[in-house]
Amino acid sequence: MEKKASESLVVMTELVMPNDTNHLGNLMGGRLMYWMDIAAALSTMKHTETACVTASVDNISFESPIKLGNVVHIEAKLTRTFKTSMEVHIIVWGEDAMQKYRYKSNEAFMTFVSLDQNNKPQEISYNLIPESEEEKRLFDGALRRRQLRLILSGKMKPHDADELKALFMTP
């Protein structure tokens, strides 16, 4: 069975309130990561129709702070499914609603695992189908990102990472 990548899209919107900010009036990174995790979980559950849990979070790059009173838009969408895991791409936008100015705050990749009724990893029933050029680009890079994650976690030896080796080795 198959589902389109676009079918997994989740857009979550939050308003930055005083209890969400640090002493500089910026959204706290931990609060944003919490919201990102929720949006990514919803996206994976939408695709798999199962319970899903966070397995890993790649580097989260904070490009621009989001200020008190600004709006946060979190877009989460699957990039690729594997046997029991899947990768989600998250982009965060800040918006000054009064000035009508929207800006990119950060982005990240997260990996989630689909669970069965006993909370054990289970195979994902739906293959992901990328359609747009951006979805295809993210889909193609997902295997390399996965191999890098597995190497960094000690679950894969570098010499077994064929996709990564192909980037650096010439025939």
- Domain ranges across the chain: 2-130
* Residue 25 phi, psi dihedral angles, 5° rounding: 80, 15
Residue 108's nearest CA partner among 138, 68, 132, 82 is 138
Q: Do 84 and 123 form a contact (C-beta atoms < 8 A)? A: yes
pLDDT 10s digits, 30-76: 999 999 999 999 999 999 999 999 999 988 888 999 999 999 999 99
**Alpha-helix runs per DSSP H in the chain:** 29-48, 133-152, 162-168
- Give the model confidence (pLDDT) of 95-149 as tens digits: 998 889 999 999 999 999 999 999 999 999 999 999 999 999 999 999 999 988 8
* Whole-angstrom distance, CA of residue 107 vs CA of residue 112: 16
Higher pLDDT, 22 or 148: 22
Sign of CA dihedral 60, 122, 44, 31: negative
**What is the reported pTM?**
0.91
Side chain identity, residue 51: A
Class of domain 2-130: alpha beta
CA nearest to 93, candidates 12, 6, 159: 12
pLDDT in tens, 75-98: 999 999 999 999 999 999 999 988
Can you say how many angstroms the Cα of residue 32 is from the centroid of all Cα atoms in its chain? Answer: 13
